[in-house]
Copies of this chain bind each other. A is one copy, B any other.
Amino acid sequence: SRTGIPEGILADGKTTAEIVALALDAVDATGHALVTRLDDETADAIDRAVGDEVPDATVDHDARARTVVVHASDYDPPTLDATVGVVTAGTSDAIPAGETAVVAGEMGATIDRVDDVGVAGIHRLFDQLDRIRESDVLVVAAGREGALPTVTAGLVDAPVIGLPVSNGYGHAGEGEAALDGMLQSCTPLSVVNIDAGFVAGAQAGLIARAIDRARTE
């Protein structure tokens, strides 16, 4: 497509048969397929079906991110001269942050994952700061009170996209407090919806593309 954003297949609410068919169709039409929010059984089913139908294709299953990527043998993935940093506060951010990484990665960006630097122990963030400052654009995921993007954006020059994650319970749980806090952040940043790792990855990928175009002009 013009923007380079891959067509994603959201597994939630679809049957295994539907997902497999959609993935094979995508590989057939575009040379690659990206499935999100699937379970291990569906990943295996895709693996088997691809093995049967397009045996040369590669199948990459990231079980923690709950994603599968299929590349036909003749698919020539894009590469961008730009890095997207994907920063997480804790282990419960793995699924949406993984979606972000896989989408921006499919768009061609170099991905730099920095995990478990939540604000409860802020020294961990400072320990990784030099590395975080090397990315061209950052997606920062956080659940509960969602303070990490705010703190990070105060320490770096790159644009920060806040990715609220649906953990937390009780009042304003399920990511609402995190979203609210990012919208009210006292350091400027833009945000995507709760758990919208795909959208964050696409937006970071679009920024990486713009930087890549500028670098290669």
- Show the binding face of A for B, using Cβ within 8 Å: 2-3, 5, 12-13, 82, 89-90, 92, 118-122, 136-137, 144-147, 150-151, 154-155, 157-159, 161, 164, 166, 168-173, 175-196, 198-200, 202-203, 206-207, 209-212, 214-215, 217
**Would you call B193 and A169 a contact (CB within 8 A)?**
yes
Q: Contacts A120-B150, A207-B159, A207-B210 known; A193 to B184 CB distance under 8 Å?
A: yes
Q: A2's contact among B82, B122, B157, B168, by CB below 8 Å, is which? A: B157
Give the copy number: 8
Closest beta carbon of chain B to A190's beta carbon, Å: 4
Measured in the bound complex, the distance between the Cα atoms of B2 and A206 in whole Å is 24
Measured in the bound complex, the distance between the Cα atoms of B176 and A5 in whole Å is 26
Interface of A is mostly: loop
Closest beta carbon of chain B to A207's beta carbon, Å: 5
Enumerate chain B residues within 8 angstroms of A82, measured Cβ to Cβ. 214
Measured in the bound complex, the distance between the Cα atoms of B205 and A159 in whole Å is 9
**Would you call B169 and A188 a contact (CB within 8 A)?**
no
Enumerate chain B residues within 8 angstroms of A185, measured Cβ to Cβ. 144-145, 199
**Would you call A171 and B180 a contact (CB within 8 A)?**
yes
Enumerate chain B residues within 8 angstroms of A144, measured Cβ to Cβ. 184-186
Q: A206's contact among B169, B175, B188, by CB below 8 Å, is which? A: B188
**Would you call A154 and B121 a contact (CB within 8 A)?**
yes
Closest beta carbon of chain B to A95's beta carbon, Å: 11
**Would you call B181 and A170 a contact (CB within 8 A)?**
no
